[in-house]
Amino acid sequence: MYSDSEIYRLMDLLPASGRMMTKLVSKPEQRQVIDHPFPTPWMTTRPVWINFDLLSQLSRPECDLLVLRAVSWMISIKWFRPNKYQAAVLVGMVGVAVQAVQADAVGMVAAGALSAIAGTQIWRENHSTQKELDADEAAIQVAQRRGYSEPEAAQALLSAIEAVAQIEGRNLTFSDLLRSQNLRAIAQLSPVGIPANLRKN
């Protein structure tokens, strides 16, 4: 298992917002190298669970980029950013409360359905290909401020994706493959990036 000094080193890599919002938590019993719950609005701190025994099988650049990427994804989830879906959830919740006071079951169901549909859309938006690619690119930007070149950071994250799949004994997912192709383009290993229509899926 990593020493406390190595955990502190990883924390020092994080951007200021990452240090404030997230917490690296050792979880040796998990089968994934790195995992995290979907951040809910009521979470005061967003945990990133790490099996440090498995993480130690990666090179230092792979570890750095994997942790930066996980934290970048976590801090990109913003529940209270004004947009049409957050507004619809809020309107629906207020509608449920008003209809409950008036004992209007049909109104409660309609307002609840509005909130559920908008909430589902927020969930989909936060699990989109674009969100995954954005998290990779944000991690690479932070890594550049920590001494990595853009191609080095992209290559480290690319090899980390492949190494993690091997360590966890699983195949690369479709999302992993899209991310890998995007990282190859950033690392200048391939002239082909990700088409705009796939980014929005």
Sheet order of strands, 22-26 included: 22-26, 46-50, 34-35
Query: What's the whole-model pTM score?
Result: 0.78
* Greater pLDDT, 199 or 194: 194
Q: What is the mean pLDDT of residues 18-43?
A: 89
Residue 186's CB is within 10 A of a number of other CB atoms, namely: 21
Examine the domain organization and report whether 65 and 94 are in the same domain.
no
24 is written with which tokens?
């690296």
Q: What is the mean pLDDT of residues 167-196?
A: 89
Number of domains comprising the chain: 2
How confident is the model over 148-175, as pLDDT tens digits?
999 999 999 999 999 999 999 999 999 8
End-to-end Cα, the chain, rounded Å: 38
How confident is the model over 106-125, as pLDDT tens digits?
665 665 665 666 566 666 66
Examine the domain organization and report whether 121 and 131 are in the same domain.
no
Are 159 and 62 in contact, with CB atoms under 8 Å apart? yes
How confident is the model over 63-79, as pLDDT tens digits?
999 999 999 999 988 76
Examine the domain organization and report whether 98 and 137 are in the same domain.
no
Residue range of the domain that includes 97: 84-125
Examine the domain organization and report whether 101 and 22 are in the same domain.
no
